[in-house]
Amino acid sequence: MDKPQNNRAWFMVLPVLLLVAFSAIIPLMTVVNYAFNDTFGNNAFFWVGVEWFKETLESDRMWGALQRQLIFSFTILAIEVPLGIAVALAMPKKGVWASVCLVLFALPLLIPWNVVGTIWQVFARIDIGLLGYSLGLIGIDFNLGQNASAAWVSVIMMDVWHWTSLVVLLAYAGLQSIPDAYYQAAKIDQASRWAVFRYVELPKLKGVLLIAVLLRFMDSFMIYTEPFVVTGGGPGSATTFLSIDLVKMALGQFDLGPAAAFSIMYFLVILLVSWAFYTIMVNLDREEERNE
C-alpha cells in the first residue's frame, strides 16, 4: 500500500524542540555535567564520577536541610488543608458576599513572593513590627534573628497566610459542585453537621483535595524566596531549607560540583515524593472500587 509520507513534517516540530532544549534540556544537562566533573575554570573539566554525590550524601548539612524541609512541608500541609476546608465551608454559597470573599482570598495569591517575605519581615520586627512589638509588650521575646522558634513560627505563619487561599478556592469550587439534593436528603435523614461533612462533602472534595495537597507539597518543598527574605535561613541554619542551602552552596561558596549533585538529588526527591503521593491516592481510590 502506498502511504504518502512527507518527512518535512518534522520541521514543524523543530521550534518546540529548540524551545524545550534551551529552556529545559540544556540547562539540566549542564547541571549533570557539573555534578560528575570538577572544574577550575577556563572550561576545563575533570571527571570525578559519583564523588560529589558521595560527599553530599555524607554531609550532615544536607540531611539537616532535608529534615527541616520535611518538617516544614508537613506542618504547613497539616495546617493549610484543614484550615482551607474550614474556611471554604464557612464561606457564603452565593450572593455579593461570596464574590467579596473570593476576591479577598485571591489577593494573597497575587502578591509577589519577595513582597510577601518583606511584609512578614517588617510585621515580625521587634522594633517597628506590629507582631514582634506587641508580643514584646506582653513579655514574649520574638526576635527572628536570635530565636529559632520565633523564626519557625514566622515562616510557617507566612506560608499559611500566603497559601491557605489556594486550598480555600479549590475546596470552595468542589463544594459548589455538590447538588442541593444531597443536602436536602441529609436533612431528611436527620444527619448531623459532622455526618454531612463526613459522608456528603468530604467524599466529593476528595479529587480537589488531592490536587491541593500535591500542589502545596511540591511548592512548599521548593520554597526559597519568602524564608530567604524573612530569616535568610537563620538564626544559624534553623530555617535553612533545601533550596536556601543549595543557593548558599552554589553561589555563596561557589561549590558548583556538590551543588549540582545536590540539585539533581533534590529534583529526584520531589519527583519521587509527588509520584508516591499520586500513586497512593489513586490506588486508594481503586482499592475502594475493587471492594465494591
Q: Nearest to residue 242, comparing CAs of 272, 211, 264, 212?
A: 264
Name the 3-class secondary structure at 6.
Answer: coil
Distances in Å between the Cα of 268 and the Cα atoms of 51, 80, 251, 262, 273 are: 18, 25, 21, 10, 8
176 or 184, CB closer to another protein?
A: 184
Question: Which runs of consecutive H residues, i.e. helices, occur in 2-59?
Answer: 9-20, 26-36, 51-58
Report the interface residues with another protein, using CB under 8 A: 179, 181-182, 184-185, 187-192, 195, 199-200, 203, 288-289, 291-292
Q: How far is the CB of 181 from another protein (least distance, A)?
A: 5
146 or 184, CB closer to another protein?
A: 184
Q: How far is the CB of 177 from another protein (least distance, A)?
A: 14
Name the 3-class secondary structure at 162.
Answer: helix
Q: Nearest to residue 202, comparing CAs of 82, 92, 290?
A: 82
- Helix pair angle (256-290, 26-36), 10° resolution: 120
195 or 251, CB closer to another protein?
A: 195
Query: Which cell numbers in the block locate residue 185?
Result: 436528603
Q: How far is the CB of 207 from another protein (least distance, A)?
A: 12
Q: How far is the CB of 190 from another protein (least distance, A)?
A: 4
Q: How far is the CB of 200 from another protein (least distance, A)?
A: 7
Q: How far is the CB of 140 from another protein (least distance, A)?
A: 44
Helix (H) or strand (E) holding 47: strand 45-47
Name the 3-class secondary structure at 191.
Answer: coil
130 or 185, CB closer to another protein?
A: 185
107 or 181, CB closer to another protein?
A: 181
2 or 287, CB closer to another protein?
A: 287
The one-letter code for the residue type at 263 is: S
